[in-house]
Amino acid sequence: GKLYTCSDSSKQTEAECKGNYITYKDGEVDHPIIQPRSWENSKFDFDNVLAAMMALFTVSTFEGWPE
């Protein structure tokens, strides 16, 4: 349960991760997109035995590791 993060990288805690935030399509300020913040678990977690084994396998072999 410690690997959760907010979809808005400027927020660090679950209490702060509320409401909406603005992103920009392709980095252009002319195309703002309002997105809801969400408190999400990491793709790799240790919340159960299977997930932990998959995370350790991925780290040890670099198979499926995000580039």
The predicted structure's pLDDT at residue 55: 83
More confident residue, 5 or 19: 19
Q: What is the percent of the chain with per-residue pLDDT over 90, rounded to a whole number?
A: 40
For residue 17, with 0-12 CB atoms within 10 Å meaning exposed, 13-18 middle and 19 or more buried, which class applies?
Answer: buried
The more confident residue out of 32 and 54 is 32
